[in-house]
Chain A
């Protein structure tokens, strides 16, 4: 709009004399342009004003400029507001209200009163044995799964980016589990860990390994890790493949010429260059494992005896099964804060180790 209009400089007093001063105001031009032009031409002081030529010639144009700006704002609102409205009602408002709910005691019945209890909910949850246990399970589960998923995913990625002719087929097959939702995967593996394992145990006589894993607390947690790894490894593989394929060929070639073996090139050249992929993959696996619910719900249901109840499920049970709406929400806020802290810590930690080419 302004880019094509010519500018001229006029004496302010002259303008005043002509009765133009109302339109000679800088406000007809965006401040940014005026300031930059002033800088460019070293225009300062009060005497000289900058204004579009057209503004001197006619009275109507400043009005159209104003209209244009108004219509720009209307377009902006038309494009942005619908989504912002939905987003606000679905995410922002519930999040803010949720903070409020965490300070009250309420059983979820609309007619029953909500009593303000201050920080009591937060004090209580740190001495809540079941909640702290679930936090411990979540930590153990996340640590082991993140490690396993990334190691296996990276190993897959390295082996299907080599010379294999079947690499495309292999990629597709390894990725398949990710597409099937956690809930359905959990049910499939539930059958495997209970009945199929027992039947394998009976057939082979390896009863000390093949028994119903879901009945034993430690093995049930291991079962969760197996399923999560099975689901996520293929997904993480895809991200690593992307990283490996964008590695600069010449650097690796140079390392080979200098006499680096496969492992040397892998650990000293490829891995440092893959750091951005590590950042992404660790972030994705860490946040996914921390928030895991579906597999927990369908595979173990938190059992046996709450031994595999993760934080997400503990919150769900507290709110919707035990009807402790305020207390459960306080847990949910603590959950949010711990997810945020842990993932941000991880990101800043791995970001520091990224190398520039």
Chain B
């Protein structure tokens, strides 16, 4: 990563309930990249996403677009980071369109009934990118898990933020929807966003990510292109598995194979 980094962290430490969850993490990530954040359960992946977005307090310096995160007001942070949490919680049966429109909240469009033309266009672009336009009027509670996850993704894309943080966006989706979601995120990266995706699917990570970050027990133990970051040593030390490796249609294939 030789281009100017958009998002950097230096000496990042996070303590939750007295336990050190992240230890001395430093990274520098450039725009236009899709970064996969992988690691065993409890390695601190979600915490790292939250810390980068300023949702959990952390020691150390985070800079986004040249500004210290701590110096940015909440509203401005919300415009720079679009955050997709796990689980796609929606507490009320709102129409899918209104959920997507909440992506414009950081831009001052607090009422989905009164969007400016610019906001409406952003909402529509996001709905088209995730293919949810047809059920814009349906309540999210009536949608299937796959449809709901695409609505959640559309909400995040509608922010049109320079940084997208997605926490396990493909969890509990069928293979087709997993590929759809990863392609939408890949597209956002190709349009210039920095996309960071937490995933347990090393195959998807290897195939879609420009950069893979491997977290283990709160430390960043490996980073780089997928083949290097997910070397046999790392697979053994961190995940305690061996992997089958191949190439298909000129893309890297990694399939976790056996425990070691």
Query: Do A and B assemble together?
Result: no
Q: Report which B residues bind A (CB closer than 8 A).
A: none
Q: Report which A residues bind B (CB closer than 8 A).
A: none
